[in-house]
């Protein structure tokens, strides 16, 4: 009889994959990931049928964690600016607190292995952000721009801000505020 799958072991594999991909890239062997997780390579494939499945589940898990962090404690009665500022601060806080996860996500975001289904799961999970952006840009300079374009601009400003916060910790808070003001001007 097969042993039941352990959620702890599955999470250990996902954590190990995050660390290994952050340092070695998507080409890292599953054997390296398994060793980092302290499981056999065969055990890894008990939890994930293929490396592609592992990478896709990791992508969804990390994006979901980042999205949940961004919306945690959202002021529901706040103005769109207050709500976007909250999401901005929480998103940047997550990214600067978990640099390995951020590096791994950067690689997964451009990986050919990420399936349409995984992108759809993430998009559905980010519907609250999409709605907030739509309300925020309603009367702004980006009101007629495609939502994907607006999100790409926001992401570029956020990534630049995160990089500056990490490279210049003494000015991290000032750069966070400047980045938000630049992003808000684009948006609204």
What pLDDT sits at residue 181?
97
Counting Cα atoms < 13 Å in the Cβ hemisphere of 17 gives: 27
Query: What ranges do the domains of the chain cover?
Result: 1-49, 52-187
Measured CA to CA, the distance from residue 150 to residue 145 in angstroms comes to 7
**Residue 4 in this model has a pLDDT that exceeds 70:** no
Burial of 32 (0-12, 13-18, 19+ CB in 10 A): middle
**Residue 96 in this model has a pLDDT that exceeds 60:** yes
The third-level CATH classification (topology) of the domain covering 52-187 is Tetracycline Repressor; domain 2 (1.10.357)
pTM: 0.90
Q: Where are the alpha helices (DSSP H) in 25-146?
A: 30-37, 41-47, 51-71, 80-97, 99-109, 116-125, 127-137
Assess contact for 182 and 157: CB atoms under 8 A. yes
What pLDDT sits at residue 142?
92
What pLDDT sits at residue 126?
83
Span 23-78, pLDDT tens digits:
999 999 999 999 999 999 999 999 999 999 999 999 999 999 999 999 999 998 99
Task: Point out the least confidently predicted range of 58-62, 132-136, 159-163.
Answer: 132-136
The CATH class of the 1-49 domain is: mainly alpha
**Residue 157 in this model has a pLDDT that exceeds 60:** yes
The answer for 25, left when phi > 0, alpha when psi is -120 to 50, beta otherwise, is: left
């Amino acid at each position: 009889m097969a042993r039941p799958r352990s959620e702890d072991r599955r999470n250990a594999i996902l954590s190990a994959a995050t660390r290994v991909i952050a340092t070695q890239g998507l080409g890292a062997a599953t054997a390296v990931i398994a060793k980092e997780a302290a499981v056999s390579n065969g055990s890894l494939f008990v939890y994930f049928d293929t490396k592609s499945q592992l990478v896709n589940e990791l992508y969804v898990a990390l994006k979901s964690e980042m999205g949940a962090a961004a919306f945690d404690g959202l002021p529901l009665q706040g103005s769109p600016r207050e709500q976007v500022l909250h999401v901005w601060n929480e998103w940047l806080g997550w990214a600067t607190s978990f640099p390995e996860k951020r590096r791994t996500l950067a690689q997964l975001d451009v990986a050919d292995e990420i399936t349409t289904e995984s992108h759809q799961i993430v998009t559905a999970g980010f519907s609250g952000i999409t709605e907030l952006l739509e309300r925020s840009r309603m009367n702004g300079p980006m009101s007629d721009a495609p939502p994907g374009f607006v999100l790409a601009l926001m992401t570029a400003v956020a990534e630049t801000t995160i990089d500056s916060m990490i490279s210049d910790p003494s000015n991290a808070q000032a750069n966070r505020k400047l980045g938000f003001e630049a992003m808000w001007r684009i948006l609204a």
